[in-house]
Structure 1
Amino acid sequence: GRRNSVVVGRIGFEEFHVYSPGSQHEWYGKYAFVCAGPSNTLKPVTLAPQDVWRGAQVLHNPSS
């Protein structure tokens, strides 16, 4: 059968975070979700004037 899964990739980011907004809301059970995103919180990117930095988050649903 189909699975609920996602493949997550990141380019240019050292870290990745996944969190839930919490289950204290009545609607949470019906519309549950998690938030995910790349970050450079512990190792910030420092740019000099005219420098360029690029980053990306790639999400892929292998079930589709």
Structure 2
Amino acid sequence: MPADSVGRFLMALDPDHREAVRARPREEQERLAAAWERELEADDELDTLDELSPPAAEAEAARRVMERGTD
């Protein structure tokens, strides 16, 4: 499992989004990863999902970040 937030964020993405994010500059990847971490911390629904399935919570947070396109 990747130790840095960008690596963990990339692993939470679906394959198509993962490749799209990898093609972006590192600064953009870091910005998206930071938004993903904030999403995981801030949403109570994700807290509940995280208790049941951490990978599902991470994937849902990644989906939301990519859907918004910004933090």
Identify the structure with bigger relative contact order (alpha carbons < 8 Å, sequence gap 6+). Answer: 1
TM-score (norm 2): 0.25
The structure whose residues are more often helix, as a share, is: 2
Larger Rg: 1
More strand, by proportion: 1
